[in-house]
Structure 1
């Protein structure tokens, strides 16, 4: 990769190039993203740096940017063609991680650039399931609007509705998420592997507000 003088100065200032003109890292783009250095990222992209190289954990520059919620760096990488579905060894992709983490601006970018709505994480869950579990209400709305399967069952035997109940305290954020799922047409009676319905779980856990929402929507 050949560098012009101004580009070299930028890399030197960022600590990505030695005084002898040798790259200070095997993958300067990964290093620049890891350090949150937007301008070097842009310069490296312009010079043709590989967008989808991986670190030892299998994480791409875009996945690192997503993990740190570095929106402008993620935007630069995505608009340059970085793969929003490339997974690391833990089966996280930029799209899946943005959804699970509630990083909505990056999630919007991935949805606009080919996110695979059917892709699943290491638990066999779609992006919607952890978003519901963690109470990311706006994220849930984005994923519902994008068309993610409301009734997908993960390897634990749970849907997004079940996770919103089983892995939460039933507070206001999760109540609003359950309301969104009801309005979107989620199957309210899909049970877990033991045959226990979402309504019964809510009742057993003392989540009366959620139980009331489910009963009023016709759950049994």
Structure 2
């Protein structure tokens, strides 16, 4: 249990180093062609550039494709135009994030659903933690996103390289408040395996009990 608490603390401190990084001002200033059109949501220009032969999977200096840029900017129509034009919806940028996980972290349920409709796989392994979009959303308590990912077939019991599932992350990295309680409820009702422990053998229920998260305890019993 102590080891798990130490890992949780270390993860919270180091998360910023491995978090998604939206395009910076200097990145945006350097953009031309599809990257700029995606950032600004210019659908007609995206269609024209692709028709003229521009590669919809070209990368910026951080490995972001125009689809990643459209996701960071929450331009749904631009993302659709890119996918229609041949963009790889399962491409990973340099920090190993895909469009779906970008949308999940941004707490953008509509973009999450759209990404899956356009072919972004909900079981794709993403991030330096070898997680999934569902784990990322559960970590943050984005319960509407969690619900949509579950409905889209996201794997409930994927174990990342910290040996945590989405259920464990919702408890260990949450604050015990409404959003994380609702996240746990959705996962449990969907059939997430409550018995999968962390690397120390501590279950989600035991983590909730140790933190005094009474409502989570009731859901996990």
TM-score by length of 2: 0.80
Equivalent in the alignment of 1:8: none
Looking at structure 1, the residues matched to 188 and 202 of structure 2 have their Cα atoms a distance apart, in angstroms, of 18
Looking at structure 2, the residues matched to 117 and 36 of structure 1 have their Cα atoms a distance apart, in angstroms, of 24
Looking at structure 2, the residues matched to 182 and 134 of structure 1 have their Cα atoms a distance apart, in angstroms, of 17
Q: Deviations over 1:25-72 (max 9, x none)?
A: 784111222344444334323433211100011100000111121222
With 177-186 and 90-99 compared, the bigger mean Cα shift is at: 90-99
What is the aligned length? 192
Higher helix share: 2
Query: Which structure would you say has the larger Rg?
Result: 1
Equivalent in the alignment of 2:167: 161
Equivalent in the alignment of 2:8: none
Equivalent in the alignment of 1:29: 34
Q: Deviations over 1:88-122 (max 9, x none)?
A: 11111112322333222222222112222321112
User: SS of the residue aligned with 1:123?
Assistant: coil
Equivalent in the alignment of 1:114: 119
TM-score by length of 1: 0.80
Structure 2, unmatched stretches of 5+, are 1-28
Equivalent in the alignment of 1:44: 49
Looking at structure 2, the residues matched to 35 and 80 of structure 1 have their Cα atoms a distance apart, in angstroms, of 17
Counting only pairs closer than 5 Å after superposition, residues 1-220 of structure 1 correspond to structure 2 as 27-121=32-126, 122-215=128-221
Give the CA RMSD over aligned residues.
1.9
